[in-house]
């Protein structure tokens, strides 16, 4: 299917080019009057700082035994992994830094929190062009060691710091929190920039400011959120593991949902406190998937983006999640949702369509009751300049030469992974064994140096499996003077890490699923100074699409991986150089800084689009009641499906509820009220479910037929029109029905509709677009028809018939009406709202079927509409009428999200709210108070 085709690789721009594009967009928006504050709010799970409080506290709370886990910052055990941009485990060096000076406050020791450094680098680099606010959890607060140097720096060892007691959040006073905020405000930027500059301001100009907004969480909720729901449910699921696959005991996917929800609410409130109109908001990763919708509810005008750093699974995996709809609805509160790869974005779109039943737009967004969330993809890069700086460290050279001497005469394959199931270490070892089996010439001539850094929590089964496999390979293919696999289950220092990457003849990275694996990019940069060695890369990584010059493999196909290893080890110098140069250009062009600038650009591009159009306000209770009570004659015009009854999968099941029937009955009982149902349904359905309500007027088939209040006969607006096109449309619809399982045709007297609600959602949507294209580009050009795309349907009707014409007819014959309430939910109802744009200037858009009402500031003179003249005889004449209605008494109301693009003035969210408002109004007539 063409809708699923992988898009062509996008053009890469340099950082100055992206920043220039951002500047142009901002200038264009300001010229159009769109408010921009020049500030970006980033919402992350953690602040990029580790803090300890200089006071005595109670014993540390015991740590919860873990399971297979995603990268955590900081880990429960300190290590000495190098503080490279890809480091997921904070190094000992991070905690050996001197703390901030005591000049401003003597309560806190603060140092940089390593881990997710590429993300932090990209975020902070934006401060060269924008003011920023960094919202994040403080992390666990520990009591600072009692032994400190004169300037406040800790002299305790990393092990001693790791063993310090955790300070419960409830024991941290407001004064302590204020002091921490002061420390971050005065020293945060300096601390981030102290260890290898994260960015250099342009043209020597000083950068913008960075504010930090700590989120203080209850300890139980904080760890239930991360150690519970994030680590035990979401992270396994997003990496194609279910919670029972990784848990050591009975696992409940809902056990920690309350904590996850509460923490997301706390983050949303933190954003609400710091938000200013015109801010751009970016929310990062799977820890905070509910935050976009919570912000949307609190700040409906905010521009919100969500970036998911992890993989996103296919719909068949994601639908196993019990809270699947809550998670998706939370994400869809954003204006823009961005992923690492196109395939992840396609999986997300498929989940929204298949799990929630939402529809995709022509541009690939997701429509949620009128609010459109756009979908994009943009992989994260590394801070290339920082990596280059690290590679120039003087300690790397001696270690590099030592490795060359140790393995002289042998090819070196290097792998460095965290010991997690999804990192594919077992598959890599088995593929290496396959290499020695299939290519025996390598026995004695190649070694695999595999470094596995410990995971956050022990996985004894996996560790034992790896150890046994290493022993097996070494026993089978080794000798007294040759060991094929050198496995080091430990963290290594920065100099050793980069020396290992530099000395390699081949890099092999084989994760089964991974969002961003930066070791591959660091490998390319390291190799630029040495061998220009090739790289074997798993195709199941977020950065694989960008690194197409690597030898991409399926890590489950051991033969393919072994063949790629052999090819890499025997590759000619020319091919190695060509591959390396292309990879090096990608890695050094699309950096973490470029990624950060792209985020700003992508969200700015959404401004002014339908998903950031004007917010339609909620219908005002007091104003509605006041005009209702003062009116002498009132018109109520209702759509049915989606307005008085919710949308259902089987159309015949959309029966009116008891409150709906009560509201309509009581409204029609008042002689001041004239009530119409203006629906796309046929006459039989309306008569079956609503025909018993006396005084209710009805229009069927989108304005094709009308039955006046109190009458029983239906009048046909199409009897004088050429309807010969229906046979041609029916044949086209039959063609697509035969090829779309679950679809059906509904033939009415004035229109014909193809429904695909019961078909496969993605296939049905694809077929709908194909059918629409055929109708619009062939039949509609020759026949007086229009093609309408509805909710899971495609309808063809005469040009002269629509709901707007019925509204004009009702207004024309009731010019003394001084109150109008009109409610609808979909595109066909926009014709009604357009017909009620009575007080617009003559240049405003009008229906092509009939002329616009004459407009003066004080009154509206309405010409006879087509819906009046069609049913009259040839000799009948109709004069213009003057309408009594005033602008403030017209309540056009869209049902759906406030950001829904509509001509209506007001909105409600659900059909139930429409009914509640009507019951509240009729209660006023009974002498009671409104229930609104």
Catalytic annotation, residues: 639
Task: Give 306: exposed, middle or buried? Use CB within 10 Å, 0-12, 13-18, 19+.
Answer: buried
How many CA atoms lie less than 13 Å away from 406 in the CB half-sphere?
Answer: 14
Give the span between the Cα atoms of 895 and 824, in whole angstroms. 6
End-to-end CA, the chain: 49
Q: Is the CB of residue 90 less than 8 Å from the CB of residue 73?
A: yes
Give the span between the Cα atoms of 422 and 239, in whole angstroms. 7
- Residue 23: Cβ within 10 Å count: 13
Three-state secondary-structure class, residue 135: strand
Q: Which residues of 157-182 are buried (b: 16+ CB within 10 A; e: fewer)?
A: ebeebbebebbbbeebeeebeebbbe
Beta strand residue intervals within 126-197, DSSP E: 131-137, 141-143, 166-167
Nearest to 898 by CA among 299, 477, 200: 299
Q: What angle is formed at CA 566 by the lines to CA 560 and CA 568, rounded to 5 degrees?
A: 100
The conformational region for residue 139 under phi > 0 = left, psi -120 to 50 = alpha, else beta, is left
Beta pairing, strands 39-46 & 280-284: parallel
Give the span between the Cα atoms of 588 and 524, in whole angstroms. 10
Going from the C-alpha of 494 to that of each of 83, 93, 390, 502, the distances in angstroms are: 7, 10, 8, 12
- Residue 156: Cβ within 10 Å count: 17
Give the span between the Cα atoms of 207 and 302, in whole angstroms. 25
Give the span between the Cα atoms of 281 and 123, in whole angstroms. 12
Q: Is the CB of residue 351 less than 8 Å from the CB of residue 308?
A: no
Give the span between the Cα atoms of 875 and 452, in whole angstroms. 92
Name the DSSP class of 230.
I
Three-state secondary-structure class, residue 590: coil
Task: Give 777: exposed, middle or buried? Use CB within 10 Å, 0-12, 13-18, 19+.
Answer: exposed
Beta strand residue intervals within 369-478, DSSP E: 371-377, 411-418, 446-453
Give the span between the Cα atoms of 417 and 394, in whole angstroms. 25
Give the span between the Cα atoms of 312 and 323, in whole angstroms. 15
Please report the sign of the dihedral spanned by the C-alpha atoms of residue 238, residue 241, residue 242, residue 243: negative
Q: Is the CB of residue 889 less than 8 Å from the CB of residue 636?
A: no
For the record, the structure tokens of 759 come out as 């078909």
Q: Is the CB of residue 524 less than 8 Å from the CB of residue 488?
A: no
Across-strand partners of 862?
A: 881
Give the span between the Cα atoms of 72 and 388, in whole angstroms. 26
- Residue 714: Cβ within 10 Å count: 18
Give the position of tokens 């406030």: 898
The set of residues, in sequence order, having a beta carbon less than 8 Å from that of 327 and lying 6+ positions away, is 289, 290, 321
Give the span between the Cα atoms of 414 and 407, in whole angstroms. 12
For the record, the structure tokens of 155 come out as 């002299």
Q: Is the CB of residue 619 less than 8 Å from the CB of residue 891?
A: yes
Residue 49 sits at φ, ψ, to 5 deg, of -135, 145
């Amino acid at each position: 299917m063409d809708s699923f085709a992988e898009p062509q690789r996008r053009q890469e721009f340099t950082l100055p080019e992206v920043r220039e594009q951002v500047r142009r967009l901002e200038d264009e928006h300001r010229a159009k009057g769109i408010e921009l504050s020049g500030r970006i709010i980033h919402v992350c799970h953690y602040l990029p700082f580790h803090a300890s409080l200089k006071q005595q506290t109670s014993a540390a709370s015991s740590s919860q035994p873990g399971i297979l886990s995603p990268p955590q910052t900081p880990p429960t055990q300190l290590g000495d992994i190098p503080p490279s941009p890809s480091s997921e485990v904070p190094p000992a060096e991070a905690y050996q830094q001197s703390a901030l000076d005591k000049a401003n406050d003597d309560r806190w020791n603060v140092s940089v929190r390593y881990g997710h450094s590429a993300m932090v680098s990209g975020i902070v680099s934006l401060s060269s062009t924008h003011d920023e606010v960094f919202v994040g959890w403080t992390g666990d607060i520990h009591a600072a060691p009692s032994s400190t140097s004169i300037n406040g720096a800790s002299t305790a060892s990393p092990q001693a710091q790791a063993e310090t007691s955790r300070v419960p959040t409830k024991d941290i006073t407001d004064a302590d929190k204020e002091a921490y905020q002061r420390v971050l405000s005065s020293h945060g930027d300096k601390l981030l920039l102290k260890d290898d500059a994260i960015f250099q301001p342009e043209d020597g100009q000083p950068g913008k400011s960075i504010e930090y907004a700590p989120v203080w969480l209850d300890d139980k909720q904080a760890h239930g959120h991360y150690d519970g729901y994030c680590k035990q449910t979401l992270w396994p699921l997003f990496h194609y593991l279910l919670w029972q696959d990784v848990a050591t005991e009975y696992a409940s996917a809902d056990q920690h949902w309350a904590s996850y929800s509460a923490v997301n609410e706390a983050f949303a409130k933190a954003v609400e406190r710091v938000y200013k109109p015109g801010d751009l908001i970016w929310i990062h990763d799977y820890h905070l998937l509910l935050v976009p919708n919570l912000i949307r509810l609190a700040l409906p005008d905010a521009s919100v983006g969500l970036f998911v750093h992890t993989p996103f699974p296919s719909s068949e995996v994601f639908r196993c999640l019990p809270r699947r709809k809550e998670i998706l609805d939370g994400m869809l509160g954003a204006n823009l949702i961005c992923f690492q790869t196109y395939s992840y974005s396609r999986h997300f779109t498929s989940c929204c369509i298949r799990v929630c039943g939402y529809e995709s737009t022509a541009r690939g967004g997701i429509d949620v009751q009128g609010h459109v969330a756009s979908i994009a993809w943009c992989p994260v890069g590394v801070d290339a300049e920082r990596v280059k700086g690290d590679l120039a460290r003087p300690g790397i050279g001696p270690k590099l030469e030592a490795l060359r001497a140790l393995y002289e005469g042998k090819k070196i394959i290097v792998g460095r992974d965290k010991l997690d199931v999804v990192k594919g270490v077992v598959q890599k070892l088995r593929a290496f064994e396959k290499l020695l089996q299939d290519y025996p010439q390598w026995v004695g001539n190649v070694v695999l140096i595999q470094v596995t850094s410990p995971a956050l929590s022990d996985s004894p089964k996996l560790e034992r499996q790896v150890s046994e496999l290493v022993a097996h390979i070494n026993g089978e293919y080794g000798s007294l003077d040759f060991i094929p696999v050198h496995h080091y289950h430990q963290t290594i220092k920065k100099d050793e890490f980069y020396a290992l990457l530099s000395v390699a003849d081949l890099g092999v990275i084989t994760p089964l699923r991974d969002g961003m694996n930066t070791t591959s990019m660091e490998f390319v940069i390291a190799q630029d100074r040495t061998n220009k060695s090739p790289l074997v890369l798993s195709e199941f990584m977020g950065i694989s699409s960008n690194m197409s010059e690597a030898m991409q493999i399926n890590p489950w196909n051991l033969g393919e991986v072994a063949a790629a290893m052999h090819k890499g080890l025997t590759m000619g110098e020319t091919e190695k150089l060509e591959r390396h140069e292309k990879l090096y250009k990608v890695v050094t062009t699309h950096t973490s800084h470029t990624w950060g600038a792209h985020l700003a650009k992508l969200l700015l591009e959404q401004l002014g689009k339908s998903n950031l159009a004007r917010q339609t306000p909620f219908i005002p209770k007091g104003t509605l009641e006041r005009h209702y009570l003062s009116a002498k004659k009132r018109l109520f015009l209702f759509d049915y499906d989606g307005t008085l009854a919710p949308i259902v999968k089987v159309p015949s099941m959309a029966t009116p509820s008891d409150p709906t029937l009560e509201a309509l009955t009581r409204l029609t009982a008042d002689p001041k009220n004239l009530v119409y149902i203006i629906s796309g349904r046929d006459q039989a359905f309306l008569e079956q479910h609503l025909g018993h309500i006396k005084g209710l007027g009805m229009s069927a088939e989108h304005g094709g037929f009308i039955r006046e209040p109190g009458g029983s006969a239906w009048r046909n607006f199409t009897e004088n029109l050429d309807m010969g096109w229906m046979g041609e449309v029916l044949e086209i619809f039959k063609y697509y029905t035969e090829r779309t399982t679950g679809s059906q045709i509904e033939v009415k007297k004035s229109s014909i509709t193809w429904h695909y609600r019961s078909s496969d959602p993605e296939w049905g949507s694809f077929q709908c677009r194909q059918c629409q294209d055929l109708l619009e580009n062939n039949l509609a050009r020759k026949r007086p028809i229009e093609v309408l795309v509805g909710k899971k349907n495609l309808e063809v009707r005469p040009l002269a018939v629509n709901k707007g014409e019925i509204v004009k007819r009702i207004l024309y014959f009731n010019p003394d009406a001084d109150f109008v309430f009109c409610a609808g939910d979909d595109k066909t109802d926009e014709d009604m709202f357009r017909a009620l744009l009575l007080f617009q200037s003559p240049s405003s858009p009008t229906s092509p079927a009939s002329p616009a009402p004459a407009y003066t500031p004080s009154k509206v003179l309405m010409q006879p509409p087509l819906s009046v003249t069609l049913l009259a005889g040839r000799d009948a004449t109709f004069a213009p009428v003057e309408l009594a209605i005033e602008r403030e008494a017209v309540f056009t109301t869209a049902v759906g999200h406030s950001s829904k693009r509509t001509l209506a003035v007001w909105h409600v969210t659900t059909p139930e709210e429409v009914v509640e408002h009507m019951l509240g109004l009729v209660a006023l007539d009974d002498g009671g108070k409104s229930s609104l």
